[in-house]
Amino acid sequence: MRRKIRRRDFLRGSALAAGAAACWPLPAFSAAPQSTKKLNVAVIGVDRRGRANLDGVAGENIVALCDVDESRLGKAGERFLKREYRKGWIL
């Protein structure tokens, strides 16, 4: 035999359950790890769309650049590469 539940009782129980869930700390949501490390990024092509890609990842650690035009590569290297990565970067 099925027990009938009134709508008012259902809503009261649902509200209590939702309130208890909101007050209960869930480790998966309350202590989400935040990464402070930067990505090492290599970019192929440094002009036009490649320039937009470089601007998009400028906050990351850019370790390598590649382009067929050495003058464009040189300008991008001076702007984006850190000093320790500039040694021997034009092949």
**pLDDT value at 91 more than 50:** no
Phi, psi (deg, nearest 5) at residue 7? -60, -40
Q: State the chain's mean pLDDT as an integer.
A: 77
Rounded (10°) angle between helices 49-56 and 70-80: 10
Q: What pLDDT shows up at residue 15?
A: 81
Give the pLDDT band of residue 29 (cuts 50, 70, 90): low
pTM: 0.53
Tokens of 39: 């990505």
**Which stretches of the chain are DSSP H helices?**
7-23, 27-30, 49-56, 70-80, 83-86
**In 3D, which of 37, 68, 36, 67 has the Cα closest to residue 81?**
67
90 touches 71 (CB < 8 A): no
In the chain, pLDDT over 70 holds for what percent of residues? 70
**pLDDT value at 40 more than 80:** yes
